[in-house]
Amino acid sequence: MGEFEFRADTTKNRLYARLSGFFRETDTPEMYRLLQAELNKLKSGFDVILDMPGLKPGSPAAVEWLAKAAGMLRARGRRRGVHISNALVTTLLQFKRVLSGVITDATTRSASSVAEAERILDTWDAEDKA
């Protein structure tokens, strides 16, 4: 069974998402509801930190949910994102394929920890100007 957590930081206009394990179709309705509730707290132009410890390639229903979630992030105004690259390589490949419309090299970076992801987002604009 997969585990998930979504948390909105309204001060930084940032969504923290944590996904781990293997997701089945029965996991997805609750995940979608909780993601939507946290997104409702944020303004358009929010950033995302996605932590995926031990996430495994999901069932077809879970992959479909991931695509829907990506569409919701795009529609709600996702600006930039950092993913914590500690998942299996097959998971990262599936993730990148499914989210190709949301994840681009220009708007997404990788980090090895949540703290590093926060630093990346906090200094993104300054680094782009350098």
pLDDT in tens, 21-71: 877 777 778 888 999 999 999 999 999 998 887 777 677 777 777 778 888
Q: What is the mean pLDDT of residues 1-16?
A: 92
Total of domains in the chain: 1
Distance of CA 22 to the CA centre of its chain: 16
Name which residue leads in pLDDT, 118 or 23.
118
What CATH number is associated with residue 56? 3.30.750.24
DSSP per-residue letters across 35-93: HHHHHTTS-TT-EEEEE-TTB-PPPHHHHHHHHHHHHHHHHHT--EEEEE--S-HHHHH
Residue 129 pLDDT > 70, yes or no? no
CB of 81 within 8 A of CB of 45?
no
